[in-house]
Amino acid sequence: MFAELEITELDAPFAASITGVRLAGLEDDAAWAAIHAAWAAFPVLSFLNQPLSLDELEAITARFGPFGDDPYIEPVQDHPHVIEIRRDADETAPPFAADSWHSDWSFQDVPPAGTLLHGKVIPPQGGDTLFADATLAFEALCPEDQKELEGLRALHSAVLGYSTKGAFAADRHERSMKILVSEEAEVRHAHPMVRVHPVTGRKSLYISPVYTVGIEGMDDADAAEILGPLYLHMLKPEFQYRHKWQKDMLLLWDNRRVLHAATGGYDGHARLLHRTTIAGEPVIAA
């Protein structure tokens, strides 16, 4: 099984597809070592033809580390580490997190390292996931800008989405996903604006339009003057990858390096994916 493993770069230098391996029940340590090495090289990895039960998805997740904490979304019954990314065919609510660029749960004190998403019901059109490489974006900045940003800390919070005054609290659409709003979403945590990857040692910008709400020690206007142009820079086409889904595809991405955003375009069709989160480590400053 390990001998057949093939890694193919996709339409961006930070995304790859792995074929020739069946992850469920895989006990070959050499194969897992190769997969971990591939994930360090390609922070977005897709695995084709992986029919998985929830138990198997959880077992695969555990190969990458402890489970992370997924707040504000009700988990699958009897599977507290699995959440459904679901939209029914007759649903009129906007797709979950559509067009909202973010790194998963960066507002946590110790944000997650990675996310796994498994395609169960895939619509015949739309539903792509967009990714942006925050490492390539940082490395494209001039040395003077890199040095300035390395001395700053960004404030992260879930207030815009999940607080009692946030977007989901104000959303009057009925959703098939149960989203839980809370006053706890107003809590802020500061993280370095430039983080060092604990495996590769490469530096990445660590901000997002959804969860970054300011810069430590700055007023909102001064912070916006820095953050706004940085978002435009990070989301340039040359740093992006558009991922197209297939049924039974498993996608793994590194929240320490990439941002992502959902897309719509599948009204009238059901979409269902199962998601788990890999716990991370304290953010390392540059």
| Residue 284 falls inside a structural domain | no
Residues 127 and 182: their CA atoms lie apart, in Å, by: 28
Q: What is the mean pLDDT of residues 47-71?
A: 98
| Residue 48 falls inside a structural domain | yes
User: Does the pLDDT of residue 1 top 60, yes or no?
Assistant: no
> Which has the closest alpha carbon to 44: 10, 21, 70?
10
The b-or-e profile of 30-52 (16+ CB within 10 A means b, else e) is: ebbebbeeebeebbbbbbeebeb
Q: What is the CATH number of the domain that holds 125?
A: 3.60.130.10
Q: What percent of the chain has pLDDT over 70?
A: 99
The residue with tokens 């009897």 is 78
Amino acid 267: pLDDT: 95
In contact, 206 and 196? CB cutoff 8 Å: no
Q: What is the mean pLDDT of residues 238-250?
A: 98
| Residue 273 falls inside a structural domain | yes
Helix, strand, coil share (%) of the chain residues, nearest 5: 25, 30, 50
More confident residue, 224 or 173: 224
**Contact residues for 219 (Cβ-Cβ < 8 A; gap 6+):** none
Q: What percent of the chain has pLDDT over 90?
A: 91
Q: How many domains does the structure of the chain reveal?
A: 1
| Residue 92 falls inside a structural domain | yes
| Residue 283 falls inside a structural domain | no
Residues 115 and 129: their CA atoms lie apart, in Å, by: 13
Residues 11 and 23: their CA atoms lie apart, in Å, by: 24
Query: Tell me, what DSSP letter sits at residue 182?
Result: -
Residues 21 and 3: their CA atoms lie apart, in Å, by: 9
If pLDDT is split at 50, 70 and 90, which confidence band does 98 have?
low
In 3-state terms, what secondary structure has residue 165? Answer: coil
The whole domain housing 86 covers 2-278
pLDDT mean across residues, the chain: 95
Amino acid 94: pLDDT: 83
User: Does the pLDDT of residue 71 top 90, yes or no?
Assistant: yes
If pLDDT is split at 50, 70 and 90, which confidence band does 173 have?
confident
| Residue 50 falls inside a structural domain | yes
| Residue 285 falls inside a structural domain | no
If pLDDT is split at 50, 70 and 90, which confidence band does 174 have?
confident
In contact, 274 and 117? CB cutoff 8 Å: yes
User: Does the pLDDT of residue 167 top 90, yes or no?
Assistant: no
User: Does the pLDDT of residue 85 top 80, yes or no?
Assistant: yes
Residues 131 and 134: their CA atoms lie apart, in Å, by: 9
pLDDT in tens, 31-43: 999 999 999 999 9
The residue with tokens 């992260």 is 156
pTM of the predicted structure, to 2 decimals: 0.96
| Residue 286 falls inside a structural domain | no
